[in-house]
Structure 1
Amino acid sequence: MSYTGPGFDPPPSRRPRRAPLTVVVAALVPGALLGWFVYAAVGDHGGGHGDGAATLRAAPSATAPSPGRDAAGAAPSPGYPTDSASASVPVDGKGPGASSAPAATGPLKGKVVVIDPGHNPGNFRHTVQINRQVDIGTHRKECDTTGTSTNSGYTEAQFTLDVARRLRTLLQRQGATVKLTQDGDRPWGPCVDERARIGNTAHADAAISIHADGSAAGNRGFHVILPASVHAGAADTRPITAASRALGERVVGRFVRATGMAPANYVGDGTGLVTRGDLGGLNLSTVPKVFVECGNMRDSKDAALLTSGTWRQKAAQGISEGIAGFLGG
């Protein structure tokens, strides 16, 4: 590519200085010829020296972005597609963290979807904050956790944020208004109670939390977690359990079709559905909500899929189709 920088600047253009000629007697041909020779000699020599009329340099062109950085010179967001497969998949026309306006028309026009990317890439730097106990209705538990990772170090928080951004784009193209609980725009969290509150405050028609599991090697596949019927303290999921199950069932079916991944072989009895009453993000929700555990990061075969940008796009597609089916899109 073209690069302008140290050692690559274009050579300076040179503008000759022309000393003024004094014509004493215009009629004397020898004098005129002598003046001409003096003029030529000064013009050829004067480019490199001057009395304040400095040699003009060509204006440098705009510096091209360094490899691995965007046009503003910023490094890519952690976990955003960097492999060649994902680079060819359009995710969001404005960049990793950008949120485009919802489409003017589409089957999901007027619908609000809240996407909750599980954990946060910066949680491990804020252990005091994320270990703080919060009330989830049935009991108190940690504000958040760091999540799991593949054996090679690709974190769950990176994975969830990437899939969430892809999912946002797909839903917005269908006209939905989409809100993320975090978009790599905060150093840690939010806590699980705030994650639920964001969906409630938005009056979401559907909310979905993106995760990946950290089970034992050999345990493969995805599963969708549904809220149990909980009525304790600040939690009351009774009004949303039926709608959440309908959402979860549609996500399971579309996820299998889009990704080719089978439901988990270690939970859910092959149905891809698991019901839990110990998750604050579900217990405190007042809108239809499910968790999607997209695969097991600790199994090498699942990990090979989860670390593929092409597969993550398929995962986002399957989830978006499930949500659209639930919302009647």
Structure 2
Amino acid sequence: MSYLGPEFDQPRPGGPRRPRRGPLTVALAALVPGALLGWVVYETVGSSDGGGSDQAAVRSATASPTTSAPLLPSYPGEDDKQSGASAGPSARTGSSAPAASGSGSGSLKGKVVVIDPGHNPGNFQHASEINRKVDIGTNRKECDTTGTSTNAGYTEARFTLDVAHRLRTLLEQQGATVKLTHDDGSPSWGPCVDERARIGNAAHADAAVSIHADGAAPGDRGFHVILPGPVHAGAADTRPIVPASKDLGERIAGNFVRVTGEPPSNYLGGGTGLVTREDLGGLNLSTVPKVFIECGNMRDSKDAASLTSGTWRQKAAEGISAGIVSFLRGS
């Protein structure tokens, strides 16, 4: 957010052929039933996971340590996109607040998480709409902005949606009900920052996280988590959510650096990876624990290399998820 306003072959059964040697015929014939039985068992077990031992290993490596989660779907990124592959789960269209979803089981059953992907890929075509001023409590600011991009043109809006999809999958595997403020072109622009806050409020979210990437000067590196300051003005009153939001933000920051290896910002937050602000409508108008995370600086070549990597974006989602899970469990 660079504005002042708002990604084998299955072994085949079988064994050595039975040689035609008269003296051994009877002995070998006695072994055939056992071999056939072993083959049947092999085929049954092998076909049950649809891919043999290699897929089982992948399934073990990607499952949550606390749940028997299914194999994670692979969301192709901008650098690992396959022809004809979807960029994420099927879009939930029809309103600016896509329907919530959840697996209904797991350690986060009953918990609601709202994910707010910063900006919208369609904002570029709706300048007049996103420039409209909205009330953020302390003053009036733009409805939204286009966000930033890497020097090669990979936009913040595409980045945030990709990470949001990955994060949604991880949280749903834990049993949480997850709601996105917008998804895959619905709506075609926005929502405005005040509406993004209201979506979290209306969902009675246990935690809300707005995902961004920064557009600072080259050489400025690292992530930072933005916490709401104590605002009490107009329609804004963050005082009830400040302590919980700080707890949420600290847990996300700690897990983000641990999982991704991305350093805390060297230009904001004094090396803590935490920044408090009172000028963001998405925080000012929230009545539920909420933070922003700037995952890195898109204008720095080292950070851009990470942000444009599908592998790294998966780690980013895992780090954010770990922080949210820790917060919701209170552990």
TM-score, length-scaled by structure 1: 0.72
Relative to structure 1, the CA distance from residue 293 to residue 123 in structure 2 (aligned partners, 3 Å threshold; closer, same or farther) is same
1:304 maps to 305
2:171 maps to 171
Deviation at 1:193, TM superposition (A): 0.2
Matched to 2:299, the amino acid is R
What does the per-residue CA deviation read over 1:60-104, in whole Å, with 9 as the maximum and x for residues that have no partner?
xxxxxxxxxxxxxxxxxxx962433899x9986658989894223
1:156 maps to 156
Measured in 1, the distance between the counterparts of 2:92 and 2:293 equals 22
Relative to structure 1, the CA distance from residue 255 to residue 85 in structure 2 (aligned partners, 3 Å threshold; closer, same or farther) is farther
Deviation at 1:105, TM superposition (A): 1.5
SS at match of 1:257: helix
Where in structure 1 do 4 or more consecutive aligned residues deviate above 3 Å? 89-101
1:261 and 2:300 aligned:
no
- How many percent identity over aligned positions? 72
State whether residues 91 and 166 of structure 1, in contact with CA within 8 Å, keep that contact through their aligned partners in structure 2. Answer: no
1:81 and 2:77 aligned:
yes
Relative to structure 1, the CA distance from residue 242 to residue 131 in structure 2 (aligned partners, 3 Å threshold; closer, same or farther) is same
Matched to 1:305, the amino acid is S
Matched to 1:129, the amino acid is E
SS at match of 2:102: coil
SS at match of 2:198: helix
1:292 maps to 293
Measured in 2, the distance between the counterparts of 1:191 and 1:84 equals 31
Relative to structure 1, the CA distance from residue 92 to residue 124 in structure 2 (aligned partners, 3 Å threshold; closer, same or farther) is closer
1:111 maps to 111
Matched to 2:172, the amino acid is Q
Q: Map 1:265-276; keep pairs closer than 5 Å.
A: 265-276=266-277
Measured in 1, the distance between the counterparts of 2:77 and 2:172 equals 20
State whether residues 85 and 308 of structure 1, in contact with CA within 8 Å, keep that contact through their aligned partners in structure 2. Answer: no
Relative to structure 1, the CA distance from residue 198 to residue 86 in structure 2 (aligned partners, 3 Å threshold; closer, same or farther) is farther
State whether residues 250 and 323 of structure 1, in contact with CA within 8 Å, keep that contact through their aligned partners in structure 2. Answer: yes
SS at match of 1:238: coil
Matched to 1:268, the amino acid is G
SS at match of 2:212: strand
1:146 maps to 146
What does the per-residue CA deviation read over 1:36-79, in whole Å, with 9 as the maximum and x for residues that have no partner?
xxxxxxxxxxxxxxxxxxxxxxxxxxxxxxxxxxxxxxxxxxx9
State whether residues 92 and 99 of structure 1, in contact with CA within 8 Å, keep that contact through their aligned partners in structure 2. Answer: no
Matched to 1:154, the amino acid is Y
Relative to structure 1, the CA distance from residue 317 to residue 90 in structure 2 (aligned partners, 3 Å threshold; closer, same or farther) is farther
Relative to structure 1, the CA distance from residue 305 to residue 85 in structure 2 (aligned partners, 3 Å threshold; closer, same or farther) is farther
State whether residues 107 and 174 of structure 1, in contact with CA within 8 Å, keep that contact through their aligned partners in structure 2. Answer: yes
Q: Map 1:194-209; keep pairs closer than 5 Å.
A: 194-209=195-210
Measured in 2, the distance between the counterparts of 1:323 and 1:173 equals 13
Deviation at 1:312, TM superposition (A): 0.2
2:242 maps to 241
Deviation at 1:225, TM superposition (A): 0.1
State whether residues 78 and 308 of structure 2, in contact with CA within 8 Å, keep that contact through their aligned partners in structure 1. Answer: no
1:189 maps to 190
TM-score, length-scaled by structure 2: 0.72
Relative to structure 1, the CA distance from residue 328 to residue 146 in structure 2 (aligned partners, 3 Å threshold; closer, same or farther) is same
Matched to 1:230, the amino acid is V
Q: Greater share of helix residues, 1 or 2?
A: 2
Measured in 2, the distance between the counterparts of 1:304 and 1:86 equals 20
State whether residues 130 and 142 of structure 1, in contact with CA within 8 Å, keep that contact through their aligned partners in structure 2. Answer: yes
List gaps (5 residues or longer) in structure 1: 1-78
**Structure whose alpha-carbon radius of gyration is higher:** 1
In the alignment of these two chains, the number of paired residues is 250
Measured in 2, the distance between the counterparts of 1:299 and 1:180 equals 28
